[in-house]
């Protein structure tokens, strides 16, 4: 259960109906490299209907890869009622697995490319939140991460809905 004073709970409390009743898309951002592609999971009425990665050509320049992300979303994805995206902090601290400054910049740019394709609200999901939703059969990948991001939002939206139902 998410704490009521947590950032993700606060974000979802305003949008729980869109998550549970509408078209909701979760993204694990990437600017496309030989080891990572943008992952997505599309949910309708809180049920996973499609997931995968947006295939980019790592040899293309960064601006072409960002354009390709936007082009793929505009041409191949439904319009969403709300989206969720992994929260990429603007700085990386010196710890095992930390990213370089340039990697963070590339990820932030991919987040911008993804967000620019939708005329709806968005939720930022911290890795510490969605990683609690790894399921049996989870295998580290951009697609699986996006599914977990979506499952995290759905679970918290259900928690909020139940709390509201108990009050009434």
pLDDT value of residue 91: 61
Q: Is the pLDDT of residue 96 over 60?
A: no
Average pLDDT over residues 101-118: 87
Q: Is the pLDDT of residue 37 over 90?
A: yes
Answer whether 110's CB lies under 8 Å from 69's CB: yes
pLDDT value of residue 167: 87
Average pLDDT over residues 79-105: 75
pLDDT value of residue 148: 98
The rounded mean pLDDT for the chain is: 92
Alpha carbon distance 73, 128 (integer Å) = 27
User: What CATH number should be reported for the domain whose range is 7-167?
Assistant: 3.30.420.10
Greater model confidence, 57 or 1? 57
Q: Is the pLDDT of residue 93 over 80?
A: no
pLDDT in tens, 45-85: 999 999 999 999 999 999 999 999 999 999 999 999 999 99
pLDDT in tens, 143-154: 999 999 999 999
- Residue 83: name the closest of 117, 54, 55 by CA: 117
Alpha carbon distance 168, 95 (integer Å) = 47
């Amino acid at each position: 259960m998410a704490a009521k004073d947590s950032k993700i709970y606060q974000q979802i409390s305003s949008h729980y109906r869109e998550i549970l009743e509408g078209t909701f898309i979760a993204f694990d951002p990437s600017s496309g490299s030989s080891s990572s592609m943008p992952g997505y999971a599309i949910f309708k009425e809180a049920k996973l209907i499609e997931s995968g990665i947006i295939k980019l050509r790592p040899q293309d320049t960064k601006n072409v890869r960002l354009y390709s992300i936007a082009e793929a979303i505009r041409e191949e994805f439904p319009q969403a009622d709300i989206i969720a995206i992994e929260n990429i902090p603007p700085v990386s601290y010196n710890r095992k697995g930390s990213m370089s400054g340039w990697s963070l910049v590339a990820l932030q740019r991919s987040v911008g490319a993804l967000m620019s394709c939708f005329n709806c609200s968005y939720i930022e999901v911290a890795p510490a939140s969605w990683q609690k939703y790894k399921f049996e059969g989870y295998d580290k990948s951009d697609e699986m991460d996006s599914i977990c991001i979506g499952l995290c939002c759905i679970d918290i939206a259900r928690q909020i809905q139940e709390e509201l139902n108990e009050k009434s």
